[in-house]
Amino acid sequence: MQTVSTENFNWLNIENPTAKDIIFLKQSYAFHDLNLEDCLSDIQRPKVDAQPDHIFIVLHFPRYFKTLKKMIASEVDIFLGQNYMITLHKGDLKPLNDFFSDMKKNKTELDSLVEKGSAMVMYELISQMFEYCFPIIDKIGERLNTIESAMFEERPSSIVPEIARINQEIITFRKTIAPERRVILDLEDRIRPFSSPGNDLYFDDMTDLIEKIWDNLENFREVSESLQRTHDSYITYRLNEGIKILTVFSAILLPLTLITGYYGMNVEGLPIARHPLSAEFIFLGMLAIVGLLLYLFKKKDII
């Protein structure tokens, strides 16, 4: 539990909240029991609950774990009153902790935000957390470009795991951001009691920010699906080419097998079987058949 305080504002930041922390909040603030319970449980969807003297907000932000090569949505719970803000989250959320450290080092900046209403502190926090999404977006874009460049240069089997991973990350990212679009719109209306007149433009900017993130994710989804379809088509094409070659070999070997099998029978009266040059004639005949079949396959663009 960390605190940064000024004369008119107090910010309490709780990382990995415990039951003891919730009891402290219950004794110190008039928060609803259900909202306090939400701080310990994993809420699947974001929400905004407006009370006469405070707002309770649940938001989710993506975190990428390099060691796991996996993206996970991390929950942030925020209580905002006229002269305080309380944030609760699990794990190290870098943009939140960085902003908290900045405000702790520069309380003058914190005071300047509070002068416009406590909502401005929350606005800056949420904006910075959304801004932190863009490096992740840029990284996804780079990986999609790499997959596109490598698709026809490397073995297809080496591309499949990366396409699957990036699809999973885009899905997780979209599932995180999609419901928050509506929550941010609701927040614009409910935040006014804690904001000075003229601050609506800031929250409009936050709406534009999340829409920009969503547009990027929609574009990535389309690109990823196109790459998947292209990869599948390429695999099908290569498979068909392999089947075509096997078919040509089978078509060539079939008459040759029939001829060798026919003349391999130990019976009397086979054509030219007793001719001194029978082997040469049969060999030339087989070559002629091979040549004719190759000519026909070439003429029909089979090979």
Residue 157 has pLDDT above 70, yes or no: no
Q: Could you tell me the pLDDT band of residue 96, with boundaries at 50, 70 and 90?
A: very high
Residue 28 has pLDDT above 70, yes or no: yes
Encode pLDDT of 172-202 as tens digits.
999 999 999 888 888 877 887 777 777 777 7
CA distance 93 to 76: 9
Average pLDDT over the chain, rounded to an integer: 85
pLDDT reported for residue 137 = 92
For the chain, the domains span: 2-236, 241-299
Q: Do domains 2-236 and 241-299 have the same CATH topology?
A: no
pTM of the model: 0.77
Compute the average pLDDT of residues 129-147: 91
Among 34-48, 70-84, 162-176, 259-273, where is mean pLDDT lowest? 259-273
pLDDT reported for residue 71 = 83
pLDDT above 70 covers what percent of the chain? Answer: 95
> Token digits for 64?
């990428």
pLDDT reported for residue 267 = 65
Output 157-164 pairs: Cβ under 8 A, ≥24 positions apart: 159/231, 160/231, 163/224, 163/227, 163/228, 163/231
Q: How far, rounded to the nearest angstrom, does the alpha carbon of residue 180 sit from its chain's CA centroid?
A: 17
Residue 118 has pLDDT above 80, yes or no: yes
pLDDT reported for residue 77 = 93
pLDDT reported for residue 154 = 61
- CATH code that applies to domain 2-236: 3.30.460.20
Q: Which CATH number fits domain 241-299: 3.30.70, 3.40.50, 1.10.3470, 1.20.58?
A: 1.20.58
pLDDT reported for residue 216 = 94
Residue 279 has pLDDT above 90, yes or no: no
Burial letters 237-257, b for 16+ CB under 10 A, else e = eeeeeeeeeeeeeeebeeeee
Compute the average pLDDT of residues 296-301: 78
Q: If we measure between CA atoms, which residue out of 178, 174, 187, 72 comes closest to residue 127?
A: 187
